[in-house]
Structure 1
Amino acid sequence: MAKSSFKMEHPLERRQAEAARIREKYPDRIPVIVERAEKSDVPEIDKKNHGYAFVKSVLKIEWPLEISTATFTASVFYPLYLVPADLTVGQFVYVVRKRIKLSPEKAIFIFVKNILPPTAAMMSSIYEENKDEDGFLYMSYSGENTFGLL
Structure 2
Amino acid sequence: MAPFEKSMEMMPFKQRKCLATRKDEVCSIRSKFPNKLPVIVERYMRERTLPLLDKTKFLVPFELTLGQFLCLLRTKIALDPSQTLFLLVAERSMSCMSSSMGDIYSRFRDTDGFLYITYASQEVFGASQLAAGPC
- Name the TM-score class by shorter chain: 0.7 to 0.9
Is the counterpart of residue 86 in structure 1 residue 63 in structure 2?
yes
Higher relative contact order (Cα pairs below 8 Å, separated by 6+ residues) = 1
Instruction: Name the residue aligned to 1:104.
Output: 81
Could you list the runs of 5+ residues in structure 1 that have no partner in the other structure?
A: 48-78
- Contact 1:88–1:119 (Cα < 8 Å) also in 2: yes
Question: Is the contact made by 2:39 and 2:117 (CA closer than 8 Å) also made in structure 1?
Answer: yes
The answer on whether the counterparts of 1:36 and 1:141 sit within 8 Å (CA) in structure 2 is yes
Relative to structure 1, is the Cα distance of residues 12 and 111 closer, same or farther in structure 2, using a 3 angstrom cutoff? same
Aligned to 1:10: 17
How many residue pairs are counted as aligned between the two chains?
114
Question: Identity across aligned pairs (percent)?
Answer: 39
**Structure 1 residue 39 displacement after superposition:** 1.8
RMSD (CA atoms)? 1.5
Is the CA contact 2:105–2:115 (under 8 Å) kept in the aligned structure 1? yes
2:78 aligned partner, one-letter code: K
Q: CA deviation at 1:90?
A: 0.1
1:21 maps to 28
* Alpha-carbon separation, structure 1, partners of 2:123 and 2:29: 31
Q: Which has the higher helix share?
A: 2
Matched residue SS, 1:139: strand
**Structure 2: any 5+ residue segments left out of the alignment?**
1-10, 127-135
Alpha-carbon spacing, 1:145–1:90, altered in 2? closer, same or farther (3 Å): farther
Shift of 1:43: 1.2
Residue 115 of structure 1, CA deviation: 1.2
Give the structure-2-normalised TM-score.
0.80
Bigger Rg over Cα:
2
Please say if 1:42 is aligned against 2:20: no
